Structure 1
């Protein structure tokens, strides 16, 4: 599904977007036109009117059946979210529906009763624990503590009540982790001035502030202790929004969290949902002139551009530091600029004020061709889809061009105010991930090593000669605890070489590891240019009929090197050697994995079933096994 994703200023877009969404709703066509909705919502997502606009449009979208959207657009997989809490949370549905729709995700919402959060967390047969639930939101506020204080009360009473409440939440979280299947989402509780100032002496207020921070710290630590628990910190969100609540609504309707704060919370949940769906972006592509530096290189020359030393220059320097920070955490950095290549490379290498240097980038593209074509070339060079890209540029024309012709890429619209570049790039959490792995931190270096592989390929007369000279070495072995996060990440992020597209969180991987019937294998590769680390995974299950291969995944970065054939050949040999009568596998088609349709047949599997939607079932007799490619050195280890 092509989903244009843009962020940034666009006041004209706002009016057009509102009218278009209203007209689609009036005509009953929101489901049919759902792929166009993200681009329309992008025009409403930022600026002072954003909270109200998204809440209103979200309420319209919430009236559309998510299953109908999915039937019309198979890639628009609904997210099932259960909502429970303390106060009235009706105002959350609109913003949450809109924020998920911005990323092409329809919302299937299950709303709990008012102030039923404790009962819902205790009821292991209830909606929070349903097997199809993706996210279980339990939205709390400070009144869960203050409603239990005696009258009159002191700071010591608040400390006792907060401690008891934290212990209760910890017990309920342990129950959810043990019995639930989704991700439990909690939040920190903002302390209001109307609560703090009920104590008239400063010492008591200080005691209350300290204990309240300790209480919130205890909530945050739950996310560190349990991989399937996520805690949204409301404090930084409240600092950027209006009042935490409207006091009148808090008294009369029990809405203890205000609409604007709920809107920001909904955006954080949407970032989490995107990570759960495996839609984290991988590459940040930046313009140069008036994006990374102040000035135009072609007009002003190297001495005329600024990254420090002036007010505006300092803002660009801060933006470069942010970009470098993102790059240090596995975000691939690339340049796409209307400039000549040689001056750009010289400035990045030699300008004394540059924070970013050539080695920070996996691709530097400077020419006068249209930027949409350049972005496609950058993605192809990295062996990634264009939906992995985030493009940041200060030119409205370039942003509009990319948004219209490469709609699956995210576009961050910067403008003439460089002090806002950082806020606009970070506003939508494009690179948010559940957990950073060591492989993430090494990713840029691994992609830069691909330059050597390309040079070797260009110098070879044949593909066979190239592969032989590459000296590919593959290791297949059971997954161990240090690999769990990376294996989960592969299931979430890998779309092209993914035979069934099942997505697994770290806790799901651990459950399979604990099952004696399951095989969870990590595939590693290295070659003459370096270690690629964990590049693939194989999931299989032993049963009476034989070995059932649940999924095979391989990073697109190492396609076409024989790694997948070597890994599956080793698995089939293991199945035969351990007495399995046959091996079984399946292929489930998606918009991105169609090239893998022939993978199993190429290894000697025969087709034993096919459905109307193109899904295939296979069987291998284990009589004639596929050979390990001659250019691959294989080391395979299996559990006893």
Structure 2
């Protein structure tokens, strides 16, 4: 893979990179450290050289690849990425009746990898044949590199391998951005509503109007996958909603929009208000505007916001939107498909709670109904999402992998659970995660305690604490240790252990050594004797 090639520079800036010897993919898999990321590149030309190879040999090869891969995945604690290509030659006459053995094997291999990826959340694969085809497959290979360096790939091919696998690893460790804020005039439609009027807008007709319509359809796809959409437009609000409600070619509807700021204020101020309303960090927001001046002002005034350099040609916008990596994710949970409804419900809750004269009475009136369920294989995907994405109410902000979560839940299944919540504003889904570690018969450590920002302000953390205590009592636990590790985002969780019977521990060296060894240097430590647990506000919750 030409270790010193410039294509790997982006990797080397982030990771300590080691290259295995050419052809030793099986040995590398067998000997791979479970605590280290593994990226395997397989070119079928190294295994299937002649198109008339007997079909039995590919079957043996398939078993070798998949069995060794699964052996790695069973023990791996860090992600594994397998990038595969066929480098299959195509000749119209020869392949006019059937595809080659190599191509058939490649299709079967991709199908097998897809099944494995559904079983192991830390495994990802790259279909390099598809990836290379975007630029032209021939450009991805270089015979000179092959004959002189035993590397099949050209500079462009190596760059594509590094970029695609790098994007996968980035998303594994960092959540996608959450909100796309859009202009309206000459962005969602062609023309200016205040000047041109409804009938003169360009949407849905042939040419550029069809491009605007396709752009809207791809926005809806993003919204369906969990990306929030908002408007920030210098316009008269009534005229903008008139387009949404009355233009027959509008695919995007009011219900797709989580919130809007349509006025004559600076868009940088409007985005700040939107972030506050939705309780999102500015660094989780993407801004799309056709006007380069507005984009430049946003970069200067709100540098944390990702401001896109969109193509000048509207015809390129649908494909550009599809290709954006900032929103991409490899899997979806049921919660993703309800995201807009959930954030709209949050906005209503925030507005009504601010107007409440008696907050306790108001919370009691909204019929809070939490529940807990043990972590299992079907809920692992959502637990991993919460672990990777939750920043505000997260007492330790430890980004566990799926392997970590499995290990924690297998030690004691009742000590790892998801929390869901419903109230008069709707079913909020799984919005909390707790993982407890038992260090001896009488002491439990709160490894993970987090709540989605969508439901903050409801005192749910008190109910969760009571659920933790209840489960510990079932196993005769006497003491619970909690740790708060401060970050620049998790101040909402800062006071959870102050009160409710917890007492601050000033000297960590008085704790059992196995607990003291995992504590952070800059954290605050609290201890609860279960007999001292005295929660307040539990009467807010139904069936308690």
Give TM-score, length-normalised by structure 2. Answer: 0.90
* Aligned position for 2:114: 220
* Aligned position for 1:256: 152
Helix, strand or coil: the match of 1:482?
A: coil
Matched, 1:626 2:534: yes
Greater displacement, 510-519 / 175-184: 510-519
Asked if structure 2 preserves the Cα contact closer than 8 Å seen for 1:241 and 1:260, the reply is no
Asked if structure 1 preserves the Cα contact closer than 8 Å seen for 2:437 and 2:445, the reply is yes
Structure 1 residues 173 and 94, CA, compared in 2 at 3 Å: closer, same or farther? closer
Matched, 1:118 2:26: yes
State the shift of 1:328 in Å. Answer: 1.0
User: What does 1:171-190 align with in structure 2 at a 5 Å threshold?
Assistant: 171-190=67-86
* 1:146-187 deviation per Cα after TM superposition (whole angstroms, max 9, x unaligned): 3xx4xxx44343x44433222111111121012222111002
State the shift of 1:206 in Å. Answer: 4.8
Helix, strand or coil: the match of 2:17?
A: strand
Asked if structure 1 preserves the Cα contact closer than 8 Å seen for 2:446 and 2:483, the reply is yes
Unaligned 5+ runs, structure 1:
1-86
Asked if structure 1 preserves the Cα contact closer than 8 Å seen for 2:366 and 2:423, the reply is yes
What is the rounded CA distance, in whole Å, between the counterparts of 2:99 and 2:348 in structure 1? Answer: 62
Matched, 1:144 2:46: yes
What is the rounded CA distance, in whole Å, between the counterparts of 1:253 and 1:172 in structure 2? Answer: 26
Matched, 1:563 2:465: no
Asked if structure 1 preserves the Cα contact closer than 8 Å seen for 2:51 and 2:101, the reply is no
Structure 1 residues 245 and 154, CA, compared in 2 at 3 Å: closer, same or farther? closer
What is the rounded CA distance, in whole Å, between the counterparts of 2:528 and 2:27 in structure 1? Answer: 50
Asked if structure 2 preserves the Cα contact closer than 8 Å seen for 1:471 and 1:631, the reply is no
State the shift of 1:407 in Å. Answer: 2.6
* Aligned position for 2:325: 429
User: What does 1:311-350 align with in structure 2 at a 5 Å threshold?
Assistant: 311-350=207-246
Matched, 1:400 2:313: no
User: What does 1:494-513 align with in structure 2 at a 5 Å threshold?
Assistant: 494-513=390-409
User: What does 1:4-153 align with in structure 2 at a 5 Å threshold?
Assistant: 87-91=1-5, 94=8, 96-97=10-11, 106-123=14-31, 128-131=32-35, 133=36, 135-146=37-48, 149=49, 153=50
Instruction: Decide which of 480, 487, 504 is 1:583's aligned counterpart.
Output: 480
* 1:559-607 deviation per Cα after TM superposition (whole angstroms, max 9, x unaligned): 1211011111231244345422211111222221134232212333222
Structure 1 residues 457 and 200, CA, compared in 2 at 3 Å: closer, same or farther? closer
What is the rounded CA distance, in whole Å, between the counterparts of 2:339 and 2:103 in structure 1? Answer: 42
Matched, 1:597 2:489: no
State the shift of 1:631 in Å. Answer: 4.9
What is the rounded CA distance, in whole Å, between the counterparts of 1:520 and 1:169 in structure 2? Answer: 34
What is the rounded CA distance, in whole Å, between the counterparts of 1:564 and 1:201 in structure 2? Answer: 63
What is the rounded CA distance, in whole Å, between the counterparts of 1:302 and 1:475 in structure 2? Answer: 49
State the shift of 1:465 in Å. Answer: 3.6
* Aligned position for 1:230: 124
What is the rounded CA distance, in whole Å, between the counterparts of 1:212 and 1:538 in structure 2? Answer: 42
* 1:366-418 deviation per Cα after TM superposition (whole angstroms, max 9, x unaligned): 11211122112111111121122121222222222222333332222224311
State the shift of 1:329 in Å. Answer: 1.2
Matched, 1:279 2:175: yes
Asked if structure 1 preserves the Cα contact closer than 8 Å seen for 2:78 and 2:401, the reply is no
* 1:320-373 deviation per Cα after TM superposition (whole angstroms, max 9, x unaligned): 000001111111111111212111111111111100000111112211211122
Helix, strand or coil: the match of 2:184?
A: coil
What is the rounded CA distance, in whole Å, between the counterparts of 1:594 and 1:291 in structure 2? Answer: 37
Matched, 1:363 2:259: yes
Greater displacement, 440-449 / 612-621: 612-621
State the shift of 1:634 in Å. Answer: 5.2
* Aligned position for 1:39: none
Asked if structure 1 preserves the Cα contact closer than 8 Å seen for 2:394 and 2:451, the reply is yes
Helix, strand or coil: the match of 2:240?
A: helix
Greater displacement, 553-562 / 370-379: 370-379
Asked if structure 2 preserves the Cα contact closer than 8 Å seen for 1:566 and 1:632, the reply is no
Asked if structure 2 preserves the Cα contact closer than 8 Å seen for 1:88 and 1:115, the reply is no
Greater displacement, 207-216 / 518-527: 207-216
What is the rounded CA distance, in whole Å, between the counterparts of 1:224 and 1:250 in structure 2? Answer: 34
Structure 1 residues 366 and 515, CA, compared in 2 at 3 Å: closer, same or farther? same
State the shift of 1:496 in Å. Answer: 1.1
Asked if structure 1 preserves the Cα contact closer than 8 Å seen for 2:45 and 2:86, the reply is no
> C-alpha root-mean-square deviation of aligned residues, in Å?
2.5
Helix, strand or coil: the match of 1:481?
A: coil
Asked if structure 1 preserves the Cα contact closer than 8 Å seen for 2:82 and 2:126, the reply is yes
Helix, strand or coil: the match of 1:111?
A: coil
What is the rounded CA distance, in whole Å, between the counterparts of 2:489 and 2:348 in structure 1? Answer: 28
Asked if structure 2 preserves the Cα contact closer than 8 Å seen for 1:536 and 1:555, the reply is yes
- Between the two proteins, the alignment pairs up a number of residues equal to 530
What is the rounded CA distance, in whole Å, between the counterparts of 2:75 and 2:535 in structure 1? Answer: 44
Structure 1 residues 490 and 563, CA, compared in 2 at 3 Å: closer, same or farther? same
Greater displacement, 469-478 / 333-342: 469-478
Instruction: Decide which of 427, 433, 443 is 1:531's aligned counterpart.
Output: 427
Asked if structure 2 preserves the Cα contact closer than 8 Å seen for 1:403 and 1:409, the reply is yes
* Aligned position for 1:308: 204
State the shift of 1:430 in Å. Answer: 1.4
What is the rounded CA distance, in whole Å, between the counterparts of 1:107 and 1:458 in structure 2? Answer: 46
Structure 1 residues 629 and 603, CA, compared in 2 at 3 Å: closer, same or farther? same
* Aligned position for 2:525: 617
Unaligned 5+ runs, structure 2:
509-518
Asked if structure 1 preserves the Cα contact closer than 8 Å seen for 2:287 and 2:306, the reply is yes
Asked if structure 2 preserves the Cα contact closer than 8 Å seen for 1:197 and 1:205, the reply is no
What is the rounded CA distance, in whole Å, between the counterparts of 1:459 and 1:228 in structure 2? Answer: 45
